[in-house]
């Protein structure tokens, strides 16, 4: 079969066998939940409760600050025992609300159920914003912002991201198998908000059971399922749009510039819960996996659960950990501690032992061009990284460093094991800092 995909990228071993057949399991509540107000792209929410307060599940504990921001909610009922800096997945201590669960897991009384047919697009968007819904593939961009294109910007296609192209991760795969009804309901709500019919779910062919199930379940709703070639980073928005529609997002542009809105399948399920049940985003599915974990699983966790507690539900460590990653191995964030809390964008926890990591022998660039051939954005990674090492900010900017999506393909393929994406990430920070000063 001639499967659709995008130009560039690569196909690392997907290693999904550890957890692909493990049904989603609810993770018991830990002794404390650590909930930071900084969990999304945009302005962090502002804490609005005090130490000693009793809170209920779904109660707002931090309010949105501006349009590109969302509120944050208590993930269970209990008492606020501290508001203090705690180690954040970003790698530094940030303010957090610490809740001691009371064991009742009682929802806030004021949460209201709605019939989406009785609400207009603006009312639906307001509820999605108030529920703190963000992109759950890991990007954590507030969903209501994507659903609010500027006047005159015509959106004709909704693409649902069921690709899960990062190796090891299987949370979206299990969601598609076990929660198709909620996903489809969320898609129909999004279609109503955007006023469009065309909805396409992109799924890579290494998930044939999900393709089969969603093709069957989506048919009565007129939602297309698009099987895609297995290729990383197909889950990135621009690559997914290219693969599903052949449209190109312009340099520096957004999906809406080519008439498309992209949402993750997990986000769709959360939107259904928000509208139908009145439930804010207080839990998510995350894959706990890797050769360093005794019993890999897909866990439904309360936001704020520590990585250590998630690991404990999976039989603990199988050997000495050498690398802990939140998210996938290509774009995830390396963690220094298992005490870090899982947040809304936590799609997985990966643990590798020393023997699982590739041997690294750094060498000079041999001008092989492999980094250029795999770059899905068609950049010159070796050139930009060279400018980055010399701190030549303007030259890096002129070579479109800001377009880099930090997919890690160049680093992965480089035979000299040069830390290309790390250098490019660094120079991107310098370019943005320089722009802020001007």
3-state percent helix, strand, coil for the chain, nearest multiple of 5:
30, 20, 45
Does residue 424 bind ligand SF4 (CB under 6 A)?
A: yes
- Least Å distance, CB 430 to ligand SF4, is 16
List the one residue from 223, 310, 326, 409 that touches ligand SF4 (CB under 6 A).
409
- Cβ proximity to ligand SF4, 27 vs 163, nearer residue: 163
Encoded one letter per residue, x for contact with ligand SF4 by CB under 6 A and - for no contact, window 347-386 reads ------------------xxxxxxx--xxxx-x-xx----
- Least Å distance, CB 164 to ligand SF4, is 18
Does residue 407 bind ligand SF4 (CB under 6 A)?
A: yes
Integer Cα distance of 69 and 37 in angstroms: 10
Does residue 402 bind ligand SF4 (CB under 6 A)?
A: no
Does residue 343 bind ligand SF4 (CB under 6 A)?
A: no
Contacts of 40 (CB under 8 A, 6+ apart): 69, 70, 132, 134, 140, 141, 142, 344, 345
Element (H, E) at 213: helix 208-218
DSSP calls for 155-196: --EEEEE----STT--HHHHHHHH-HHHHHHHHHHHHHHHT-
Structure tokens at 178: 């076990």
List the one residue from 410, 423, 427, 428 that touches ligand SF4 (CB under 6 A).
410
- Least Å distance, CB 341 to ligand SF4, is 27
SS3 270: helix
Integer Cα distance of 304 and 323 in angstroms: 21
- Least Å distance, CB 197 to ligand SF4, is 33
Residue 337: how many CB atoms within 10 A of its CB?
A: 11
Does residue 408 bind ligand SF4 (CB under 6 A)?
A: yes
- Cβ proximity to ligand SF4, 186 vs 328, nearer residue: 328
- Least Å distance, CB 234 to ligand SF4, is 13
- Cβ proximity to ligand SF4, 5 vs 188, nearer residue: 5
- Cβ proximity to ligand SF4, 193 vs 379, nearer residue: 379
Does residue 418 bind ligand SF4 (CB under 6 A)?
A: yes
Structure tokens at 231: 């290729």
Integer Cα distance of 243 and 337 in angstroms: 37
- What does each C-alpha distance from 335 to 114, 228, 340, 423 come to in angstroms? 40, 32, 8, 19
Return the range that interacts with ligand SF4 (CB under 6 A); candidates 17-25, 125-133, 163-171, 398-406: 398-406
- Cβ proximity to ligand SF4, 154 vs 367, nearer residue: 367
| Total residues binding ligand SF4 (CB under 6 A) | 29
Could you tell me where the beta strands, DSSP code E, fall in 1-144? 25-26, 33-35, 46-47, 54-55, 60-63, 72-73, 78-87, 93-101
- Least Å distance, CB 256 to ligand SF4, is 21
SS3 73: strand
Binding region for ligand SF4 (CB under 6 A): 365-371, 374-377, 379, 381-382, 404-410, 413-416, 418, 420-421, 424
């Amino acid at each position: 079969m001639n499967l659709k995909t995008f130009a560039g990228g690569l196909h690392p071993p997907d290693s999904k066998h550890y957890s692909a057949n493990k049904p989603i399991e609810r993770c018991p509540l830990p002794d404390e939940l650590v909930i930071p107000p900084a969990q999304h792209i945009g302005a962090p929410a502002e804490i609005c409760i005090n130490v000693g307060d009793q809170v209920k599940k779904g109660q707002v504990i931090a309010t949105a600050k501006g349009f590109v921001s969302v509120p944050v909610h208590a993930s269970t009922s209990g008492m606020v025992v501290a508001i203090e800096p705690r180690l954040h997945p970003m790698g530094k201590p940030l303010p957090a609300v610490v809740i001691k669960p009371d064991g009742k897991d009682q929802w806030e009384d004021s949460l209201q159920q709605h019939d989406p047919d009785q609400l207009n697009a603006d009312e639906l968007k307001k509820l999605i914003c108030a529920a703190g819904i963000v992109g759950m593939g890991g990007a954590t961009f507030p969903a209501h912002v994507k659903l609010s294109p500027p006047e005159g910007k015509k959106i004709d296609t909704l693409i649902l991201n069921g690709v899960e192209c990062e190796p090891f991760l299987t949370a979206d795969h299990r969601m598609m198998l076990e929660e198709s009804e909620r996903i489809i309901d969320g898609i129909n709500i999004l279609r109503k908000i955007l006023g469009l019919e065309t909805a396409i779910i992109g799924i890579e062919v290494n998930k044939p059971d999900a393709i089969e199930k969603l093709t069957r379940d989506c048919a009565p709703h007129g939602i297309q399922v698009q099987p895609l070639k297995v290729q990383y980073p197909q889950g990135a928005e621009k690559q997914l749009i290219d693969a599903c529609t052949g449209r190109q997002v312009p340099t520096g542009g957004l999906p809406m510039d080519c008439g498309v809105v992209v949402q993750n399948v997990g986000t769709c399920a959360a939107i259904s819960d928000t509208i139908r049940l009145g439930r804010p985003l207080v839990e998510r599915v995350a894959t706990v996996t890797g050769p360093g974990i005794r019993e890999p699983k897909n866990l439904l966790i309360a936001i704020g659960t520590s990585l250590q507690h998630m690991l404990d539900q999976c039989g603990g460590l199988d050997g000495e950990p050498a690398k802990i990653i939140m998210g996938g191995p290509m774009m995830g964030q390396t963690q220094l501690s298992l005490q870090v809390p899982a947040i809304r964008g936590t799609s997985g926890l990966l643990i590798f032992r020393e023997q699982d990591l590739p041997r690294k022998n750094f060498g000079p660039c041999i001008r092989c061009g492999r980094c250029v051939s795999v770059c899905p954005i068609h950049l010159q990674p070796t050139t930009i990284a060279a400018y980055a090492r010399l701190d030549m900010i303007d030259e890096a900017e002129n070579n479109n460093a800001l377009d880099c999506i930090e997919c890690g393909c160049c680093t992965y393929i480089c035979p000299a094991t040069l830390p290309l994406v790390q250098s490019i990430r660094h120079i991107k920070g310098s370019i943005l800092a320089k722009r802020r000063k001007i």
